[in-house]
Amino acid sequence: MKIAEKKALKRESIIQTALQLFSANGFHKTTIPDIAAKLHMSVGNLYNYFSSKDILAQEIIKYTSEVLGEEIRKINMQDISAREKIRGIVTVYFTMAQEKPEMIEYFLRVYLSNREVFSDGCEGMVCVSGFITEIMIFFDDAVASGELRNQDFFSAFGLFMGYLGGMVFLKGEGVLPKEIEYYIDDISRNIYNALKA
Protein backbone atom coordinates (compact mmCIF):
# COMPACT_ATOMS: atom_id res chain seq x y z
CA MET A 1 0.00 0.00 0.00
CA LYS A 2 1.30 3.44 -0.91
CA ILE A 3 2.15 5.90 1.84
CA ALA A 4 -0.57 8.32 0.70
CA GLU A 5 -3.21 5.57 0.89
CA LYS A 6 -2.01 4.56 4.33
CA LYS A 7 -2.22 8.14 5.52
CA ALA A 8 -5.73 8.50 4.11
CA LEU A 9 -6.86 5.36 5.94
CA LYS A 10 -5.29 6.56 9.16
CA ARG A 11 -6.92 9.92 8.75
CA GLU A 12 -10.33 8.30 8.35
CA SER A 13 -9.81 6.08 11.38
CA ILE A 14 -9.02 9.17 13.46
CA ILE A 15 -12.22 10.80 12.22
CA GLN A 16 -14.27 7.67 13.02
CA THR A 17 -12.83 7.35 16.52
CA ALA A 18 -13.10 11.03 17.35
CA LEU A 19 -16.66 11.01 16.00
CA GLN A 20 -17.64 8.28 18.46
CA LEU A 21 -15.94 9.95 21.42
CA PHE A 22 -17.28 13.43 20.69
CA SER A 23 -20.80 12.04 20.19
CA ALA A 24 -20.72 9.98 23.39
CA ASN A 25 -18.90 12.35 25.73
CA GLY A 26 -19.35 15.78 24.18
CA PHE A 27 -16.84 18.05 22.51
CA HIS A 28 -15.37 19.67 25.60
CA LYS A 29 -15.03 16.52 27.67
CA THR A 30 -13.18 14.70 24.90
CA THR A 31 -9.47 15.49 24.65
CA ILE A 32 -6.90 14.84 21.95
CA PRO A 33 -5.04 12.45 24.33
CA ASP A 34 -8.34 10.50 24.76
CA ILE A 35 -8.65 10.09 20.99
CA ALA A 36 -4.95 9.21 20.56
CA ALA A 37 -5.13 6.64 23.36
CA LYS A 38 -8.09 4.87 21.80
CA LEU A 39 -6.24 4.70 18.48
CA HIS A 40 -3.02 3.52 20.14
CA MET A 41 -1.11 6.37 18.61
CA SER A 42 0.89 9.20 20.11
CA VAL A 43 -0.62 12.62 20.64
CA GLY A 44 2.18 14.12 18.56
CA ASN A 45 1.44 11.84 15.65
CA LEU A 46 -2.27 12.67 15.78
CA TYR A 47 -1.38 16.36 15.49
CA ASN A 48 0.39 15.46 12.23
CA TYR A 49 -3.05 14.72 10.84
CA PHE A 50 -5.14 17.43 12.50
CA SER A 51 -3.49 20.54 13.88
CA SER A 52 -6.14 21.21 16.56
CA LYS A 53 -9.23 19.73 18.17
CA ASP A 54 -11.36 22.41 16.47
CA ILE A 55 -10.01 21.48 13.04
CA LEU A 56 -10.70 17.81 13.75
CA ALA A 57 -14.26 18.65 14.79
CA GLN A 58 -14.75 20.60 11.56
CA GLU A 59 -13.42 17.76 9.44
CA ILE A 60 -15.84 15.37 11.14
CA ILE A 61 -18.90 17.44 10.27
CA LYS A 62 -17.70 17.65 6.64
CA TYR A 63 -17.22 13.88 6.67
CA THR A 64 -20.68 13.10 8.08
CA SER A 65 -22.31 15.61 5.75
CA GLU A 66 -20.66 13.94 2.75
CA VAL A 67 -21.72 10.45 3.89
CA LEU A 68 -25.35 11.51 4.37
CA GLY A 69 -25.26 13.60 1.16
CA GLU A 70 -24.02 10.61 -0.82
CA GLU A 71 -26.96 8.50 0.41
CA ILE A 72 -29.47 11.20 -0.55
CA ARG A 73 -27.73 11.64 -3.89
CA LYS A 74 -28.46 7.99 -4.68
CA ILE A 75 -32.15 8.68 -4.01
CA ASN A 76 -32.07 11.86 -6.12
CA MET A 77 -30.66 9.90 -9.06
CA GLN A 78 -33.59 7.45 -9.04
CA ASP A 79 -36.50 7.87 -11.42
CA ILE A 80 -39.19 7.87 -8.72
CA SER A 81 -41.79 10.35 -7.47
CA ALA A 82 -41.08 13.02 -4.87
CA ARG A 83 -43.36 11.16 -2.51
CA GLU A 84 -41.18 8.05 -2.82
CA LYS A 85 -38.02 10.14 -2.50
CA ILE A 86 -39.29 11.63 0.75
CA ARG A 87 -39.78 8.13 2.07
CA GLY A 88 -36.28 7.24 0.87
CA ILE A 89 -34.69 10.21 2.62
CA VAL A 90 -36.58 9.54 5.87
CA THR A 91 -35.50 5.90 5.71
CA VAL A 92 -31.85 6.80 5.05
CA TYR A 93 -31.83 9.25 7.93
CA PHE A 94 -33.43 6.88 10.42
CA THR A 95 -31.31 3.94 9.27
CA MET A 96 -28.23 6.02 9.86
CA ALA A 97 -29.56 6.95 13.29
CA GLN A 98 -29.88 3.22 14.01
CA GLU A 99 -26.72 1.89 12.44
CA LYS A 100 -24.36 4.83 12.83
CA PRO A 101 -25.99 6.79 15.63
CA GLU A 102 -22.78 8.68 16.28
CA MET A 103 -23.16 10.52 12.98
CA ILE A 104 -26.57 11.99 13.74
CA GLU A 105 -25.67 12.45 17.40
CA TYR A 106 -22.59 14.38 16.35
CA PHE A 107 -24.69 16.72 14.26
CA LEU A 108 -27.25 17.30 16.99
CA ARG A 109 -25.05 17.32 20.09
CA VAL A 110 -21.72 18.65 18.85
CA TYR A 111 -22.27 20.66 15.67
CA LEU A 112 -25.46 22.42 16.76
CA SER A 113 -24.44 22.81 20.40
CA ASN A 114 -20.87 24.11 20.08
CA ARG A 115 -21.19 26.80 17.44
CA GLU A 116 -18.03 28.60 18.63
CA VAL A 117 -15.97 25.60 17.44
CA PHE A 118 -17.38 25.96 13.93
CA SER A 119 -17.49 29.75 13.62
CA ASP A 120 -14.13 30.06 11.86
CA GLY A 121 -13.91 27.79 8.82
CA CYS A 122 -17.35 26.17 9.06
CA GLU A 123 -19.56 29.25 8.83
CA GLY A 124 -23.13 28.74 7.71
CA MET A 125 -23.33 25.90 5.22
CA VAL A 126 -19.61 25.67 4.44
CA CYS A 127 -19.06 22.30 6.14
CA VAL A 128 -22.49 20.79 5.52
CA SER A 129 -22.82 21.66 1.84
CA GLY A 130 -22.53 18.01 0.75
CA PHE A 131 -25.80 17.26 2.47
CA ILE A 132 -27.57 20.59 1.87
CA THR A 133 -26.85 20.49 -1.86
CA GLU A 134 -28.63 17.15 -2.22
CA ILE A 135 -31.66 18.43 -0.30
CA MET A 136 -31.73 21.47 -2.60
CA ILE A 137 -31.63 19.22 -5.65
CA PHE A 138 -34.43 17.12 -4.24
CA PHE A 139 -36.62 20.22 -3.73
CA ASP A 140 -35.70 21.68 -7.11
CA ASP A 141 -36.69 18.49 -8.95
CA ALA A 142 -39.86 18.05 -6.93
CA VAL A 143 -41.07 21.61 -7.61
CA ALA A 144 -40.08 21.40 -11.29
CA SER A 145 -42.16 18.23 -11.67
CA GLY A 146 -45.12 19.97 -10.01
CA GLU A 147 -45.32 17.53 -7.15
CA LEU A 148 -44.27 19.88 -4.35
CA ARG A 149 -45.45 23.43 -3.76
CA ASN A 150 -43.04 26.23 -4.64
CA GLN A 151 -42.13 28.14 -1.49
CA ASP A 152 -39.21 29.57 0.42
CA PHE A 153 -36.41 27.02 0.71
CA PHE A 154 -35.89 27.35 4.43
CA SER A 155 -39.59 26.93 5.24
CA ALA A 156 -39.51 23.56 3.54
CA PHE A 157 -36.04 22.61 4.72
CA GLY A 158 -36.82 23.43 8.36
CA LEU A 159 -40.01 21.40 8.24
CA PHE A 160 -38.30 18.40 6.69
CA MET A 161 -35.04 18.24 8.60
CA GLY A 162 -36.36 19.69 11.85
CA TYR A 163 -38.89 16.89 11.99
CA LEU A 164 -36.27 14.19 11.35
CA GLY A 165 -33.78 15.72 13.77
CA GLY A 166 -36.47 16.01 16.42
CA MET A 167 -37.40 12.34 16.13
CA VAL A 168 -33.78 11.23 16.37
CA PHE A 169 -33.31 13.48 19.38
CA LEU A 170 -36.30 11.84 21.08
CA LYS A 171 -34.83 8.46 20.26
CA GLY A 172 -31.49 9.53 21.74
CA GLU A 173 -33.26 10.63 24.91
CA GLY A 174 -34.86 7.18 25.15
CA VAL A 175 -38.41 8.49 25.19
CA LEU A 176 -39.69 6.97 21.94
CA PRO A 177 -41.96 4.06 22.85
CA LYS A 178 -41.20 2.19 19.61
CA GLU A 179 -38.18 1.62 17.39
CA ILE A 180 -37.60 4.52 15.05
CA GLU A 181 -38.38 2.52 11.87
CA TYR A 182 -41.93 2.21 13.12
CA TYR A 183 -42.48 5.91 12.41
CA ILE A 184 -41.14 5.99 8.81
CA ASP A 185 -44.52 5.64 7.07
CA ASP A 186 -46.36 8.22 9.13
CA ILE A 187 -43.55 10.74 9.08
CA SER A 188 -43.03 10.39 5.32
CA ARG A 189 -46.76 10.92 4.76
CA ASN A 190 -46.82 13.94 7.07
CA ILE A 191 -43.89 15.58 5.31
CA TYR A 192 -45.37 14.90 1.89
CA ASN A 193 -48.78 16.25 2.88
CA ALA A 194 -47.18 19.39 4.31
CA LEU A 195 -45.10 20.10 1.20
CA LYS A 196 -47.21 18.82 -1.71
CA ALA A 197 -48.54 21.19 -4.35
- Answer yes or no whether residue 151 interacts with other proteins by CB under 8 A: yes
- Residue 85 vs 171, nearer CB to other proteins: 85
Reduced to 3 states, what is the DSSP secondary structure of residue 77? coil
Binding mask 45-64 for other proteins (x = CB under 8 A): --------------------
- Answer yes or no whether residue 144 interacts with other proteins by CB under 8 A: yes
Rg of the chain (C-alpha set) = 18
Contacts of 50 (CB under 8 A, 6+ apart): 14, 56, 59
Q: Using CB under 8 A, which of 136, 159, 161, 184 touches other proteins?
A: 136
Query: At CA 32, angle to CA 42 and CA 56, rounded to 5?
Result: 110
Binding mask 80-119 for other proteins (x = CB under 8 A): ----------------------------------------
- Distance of CA 36 to CAs 77, 83, 102, 105, 110, Å? 39, 45, 18, 21, 19
- Residue 70 vs 181, nearer CB to other proteins: 70
- Answer yes or no whether residue 70 interacts with other proteins by CB under 8 A: no
User: What letter represents residue 101's amino acid?
Assistant: P
